[in-house]
Amino acid sequence: MLAEAYIVTKNNDKDNLLSIKDFIRRKAGDSIRLQKSDNLNLHEHRNNHSEESIMFDDAIQYYKNNDYDLAVDRLMKILDMNSKNVRASWMLCYMTAIREDFEGAIIWGNRCIEIDPLFKEAYYILSLIHLQRNEYNDALEKLKKAIYIDPNFALAYFTIGNIYTLMYLHSQAMDCFEKANDLLSSDPFSKGVFQIEYFTVKELFSLIDLKFRTL
């Protein structure tokens, strides 16, 4: 394992050892806490019953059913109707990225930022592409922009912690994990002993997928 250091808290209770991976997976699956912290801008469509929003609902459902081609078809039709629909552009960015067409995902991500410079999710996906390419500084830059837009973006803090772990900057990593925990949980972070582990880019994308499953 890349990072084998253990962060021991004040009570030094090693029986409470919990890996960061287990912790974030548990929190990512907790839709209530997620909705209090890292709501995707995609939630906004629920209060809007326009034709675009109905088609977006269809695209999300197709995505959930793993019908990616149909999802892409609906999203492209939305953009034919309104080329500035940032949520459709972001979904295309995300879906292109998970298919590992990173050049295509960069185009869609930059398109999102052109439409809405404050769309934090675009910066996040672009950061994962940089991370995949081991461009750590570029990834950190994108993540810090996302946090500037939304200081409560817990997943961005986890991902920065992930990058610092890969860089063997364990103290800075722990600060980020601690901040993310504060945003996601009412439980004091100092109750246990946490092992820092890094996530692969694929695993980070899976956390976004967990968010979609709670829409």
pTM, whole model, 2 decimals? 0.74
Confidence (pLDDT) at 1: 30
Distance of CA 9 to the CA centre of its chain: 27
Confidence (pLDDT) at 60: 86
pLDDT tens, the chain, 215 aa long: 333 333 333 333 444 444 555 655 555 544 334 334 444 555 454 445 688 888 988 998 888 888 989 999 999 999 999 999 999 999 999 899 888 899 999 999 999 999 999 999 899 999 999 999 999 999 999 999 999 999 988 888 888 988 998 898 988 988 888 887 777 765 444 344 445 555 677 777 776 665 555 44
Quote the radius of gyration of the chain (alpha carbons, Å): 18
Confidence (pLDDT) at 64: 83
Q: Please tell me the distance from the alpha carbon of residue 162 to that of residue 204, in angstroms, as a whole number.
A: 10
Class of domain 43-150 (CATH, top level) = mainly alpha
Confidence (pLDDT) at 32: 38
Q: Please tell me the distance from the alpha carbon of residue 152 to that of residue 147, in angstroms, as a whole number.
A: 7
Confidence (pLDDT) at 113: 95
CATH 1.25.40.10 in the chain is located at 43-150
Half-sphere exposure of 45 (CA within 13 A, CB side): 19
Beta-bridge partner residues of 6: 195
Please return the burial class of 196, using the count of CB atoms within 10 Å of its CB with bins 0-12, 13-18 and 19+.
buried
Confidence (pLDDT) at 34: 36
Confidence (pLDDT) at 192: 41
**Count of Cβ atoms closer than 10 Å to residue 199 Cβ:** 23
